[in-house]
Amino acid sequence: MAQPHSEDEGPIAEAERRAAQIRSDEHPLGRRGTTWNRHAPFYVGLTASVGVAVTYGAVQLLGAMSSVLTLIGLAMFLALGLEPAVSWLVIHKFPRWAAVLTVVLIAFGVLAAFLAAAIPPLVEQGTQLVQQAPHYLQSAQDHSSLVGRINERFGVQQRVGDFVNKEGQTAFSDLLRAGTAVFGAITDVGIVVVLTIYFLIDMPRIRAAVYRLVPHSRRPRAVLIGDEVFAKVGAYVGGNLTTSIIAGLATFIWCVAFDVPYAVLLGVFVAIFDLIPYGSTIAGVVVAAVALTVSVPIAVATLAFYACFRWFEDYVLTPKVIGRVVKVPAGVTVVAVLIGGALLGIVGVLVAIPVAAAIQVLAQELLFPALDEA
In this structure, the answer to whether residues 179 and 141 fall within a common structural domain is yes
The pLDDT value given to residue 168: 47
In this structure, the answer to whether residues 284 and 351 fall within a common structural domain is no
In this structure, the answer to whether residues 204 and 236 fall within a common structural domain is no
- Band (pLDDT 50/70/90 cuts) for residue 175 is low
Q: Give the pLDDT confidence of 211-254 residue by residue, as tens digits.
A: 888 888 888 888 888 888 887 777 777 777 888 888 889 988 99
Q: Give the pLDDT confidence of 76-129 residue by residue, as tens digits.
A: 888 888 888 888 888 888 898 888 899 888 888 777 766 666 667 666 656 666
- Band (pLDDT 50/70/90 cuts) for residue 167 is very low
In this structure, the answer to whether residues 162 and 196 fall within a common structural domain is yes
The pLDDT value given to residue 352: 78
Among 213, 240, 261, the domain-final residue is: 213
In this structure, the answer to whether residues 78 and 202 fall within a common structural domain is yes
The pLDDT value given to residue 35: 65
In this structure, the answer to whether residues 159 and 267 fall within a common structural domain is no
| Cβ–Cβ < 8 Å for 249, 112 | no
Provide, rounded to the nearest whole percent, the portion of the chain with pLDDT above 90. Answer: 0
| Cβ–Cβ < 8 Å for 100, 201 | yes
41 inside domain: no
Q: Give the pLDDT confidence of 341-366 residue by residue, as tens digits.
A: 777 776 777 777 778 888 888 888 88
In this structure, the answer to whether residues 142 and 208 fall within a common structural domain is yes
Average the pLDDT over 283-301 and give the result: 84
Mean pLDDT across the chain: 76
In this structure, the answer to whether residues 112 and 151 fall within a common structural domain is yes
15 inside domain: no
Among 189, 213, 237, the domain-final residue is: 213
206 inside domain: yes
In this structure, the answer to whether residues 71 and 166 fall within a common structural domain is yes
Among 162, 189, 213, the domain-final residue is: 213
| Cβ–Cβ < 8 Å for 258, 340 | no
52 inside domain: no
In this structure, the answer to whether residues 108 and 144 fall within a common structural domain is yes
Q: Answer yes or no: is pLDDT of 25 > 60.
A: yes
316 inside domain: yes
115 inside domain: yes
The pLDDT value given to residue 147: 53
In this structure, the answer to whether residues 234 and 317 fall within a common structural domain is yes
- Measured in whole angstroms, the distance separating CA 129 from the mean position of its chain's CA atoms is 33
In this structure, the answer to whether residues 130 and 204 fall within a common structural domain is yes
In the chain, the number of structural domains is 3
Least confident of 31-35, 69-73, 146-150, 260-264: 146-150
254 inside domain: yes
Enclosing domain of residue 347: 327-369
55 inside domain: no
